[in-house]
Amino acid sequence: MSSKVEEWTVLSMLEWATDFFKEKDIPDPRHSIEWLLADTLDIKRLDLYLKYDRPLSPQELNTLRPMVKRRAKHEPLQYIIGFTDFMHAKISVDKRVLIPRLETEQLVEILLDNHEEDEPKNVIDLGTGSGCIPIALKMERPQWTVSGIDISEDALELARENAKQNEVTVSFTKADILSSESISDKQPFDIIVSNPPYITPGEEELLEPQVKEYEPHEALFFDKIDHMYGTIIDYAAKNLTKHGALYLELHESYADKIQGLFDDAIWDATIHHDYDKKPRFIVAFLK
C-alpha cells in the first residue's frame, strides 16, 4: 500500500485497491476490495458506502494488507475470507473444496421448483464437495432426508462443519461416484443430484489463474466425461423410486452429448439453460 497516503479511509482504500487489482488483472477488482474491506471491518459490504470517510486504524490496515497481497496473486476471494453465500446458507470454503458457483445455485432452484414443500423426499448429492447442495436443500425442505457423498475425506470434513454451522442434519459419507456399490445403502432415492467434475484436462489453460492454480483439480477435471455421466445415469436408473428425478450440472459444450446417454425408453431428460442462456443442466425423470 502506498506510503503517500497520509490517512487511509474507506474511500481511499476502495479507490487505491481497485486500481491495484486492475493492474494485476484481477477479475472484478472493485468487488474484491469491497469484500476484503467489509470482512476486515466486520460490516456488510453495502455499509461501506455509508462510511466513506471512516479512517482505517493501523490494526485494520495490518489485517487488510496480507489479504490484499493474497488477492493480488489471484487467490480466490472466497478462500481469503473463508466463506461464500449459497442460497440462504453460509458455506465455509478453503483449498479442500471447489467454490460453489451461481450456476449450482440455479440447479438447486430448479430442483426446489419441481418438488413441493409438503412432499417428503430422500435425496442424495453425488460429489458433494463443500456440502452446499444438500445443506441448501435441507434448509429449504427440513422434512426431507438429505445426504451427500464425496471421494475426498478432507472435503467431507468441511461439509460436516458447514452442516453444523448452518444447523441442519445432513449425512455425509465417503464414496466414489464411479463405484456405485460404494455409494449408499439407503436406497431408493426420490431425487439424485450431482455437479461432478466436467472440465477436460485440455481445457485447463482456458481457465482463470484463480481457478486453475488454487481450486482442487479433482473437483474440476475429468478426462472421460461420458463415462462420468454414464455411470451416474446408470446408478440413478437402478436406485431411484418410480418417477424419481435426476438433476445434473454439466459443461455447456457437452449438453447434447450427455442428453444422448439417457435411454429414451426409461427417461424423460430435458436440457435447461443457465442465466447466461447456456445449456448447463439436465433434469431427467424416470418414466
Q: Based on the domain organization, do 128 and 64 belong to the same domain?
A: no
pLDDT value, residue 5 = 58
What's the pLDDT score for residue 200? 86
Based on the domain organization, do 69 and 110 belong to the same domain?
no
Would you tell me how many other CB atoms lie within 10 Å of the CB of residue 70? 15
In this structure, the answer to whether residues 271 and 176 fall within a common structural domain is yes
Q: Print pLDDT tens along the chain (287 aa).
A: 555 556 899 999 999 999 999 999 999 999 999 999 999 999 999 999 999 999 999 999 999 999 999 999 999 999 999 999 999 999 999 999 999 999 999 999 999 999 987 788 999 999 999 999 999 999 999 999 999 999 999 999 999 999 999 999 999 999 998 886 667 666 799 999 999 998 888 888 888 999 999 999 988 888 888 999 999 999 999 999 999 999 999 999 999 999 999 999 999 999 999 999 999 999 999 99
Residue 258 lies in a domain: yes
Kindly state whether residues 63 and 181 are assigned to the same domain: no
Please indicate, yes or no, whether residues 128 and 220 belong to a single structural domain of this protein: yes
Same domain for 69 and 94: no
Residues 41 and 96 in one domain: no
- The Cα–Cα gap between 166 and 168 comes to 6
Number of compact structural domains in the chain? 2
CATH number at 24 reads 1.10.8
Convert 187-217 to b/e letters by CB count within 10 Å (16 or more is b). Answer: eebbbbbbbbbbbbeeeeeeeeebbbebbbe
The reply to whether 156 and 263 lie within a common domain is yes
Whether 151 is in a domain gets the answer yes
Q: Is residue 79 domain-resident? A: no
- pTM summary value: 0.92
Do 110 and 205 have their domain in common? yes
Residue 50 belongs to domain spanning = 10-73
What pLDDT does 10 receive? 96
Q: Are residues 95 and 36 in the same domain?
A: no
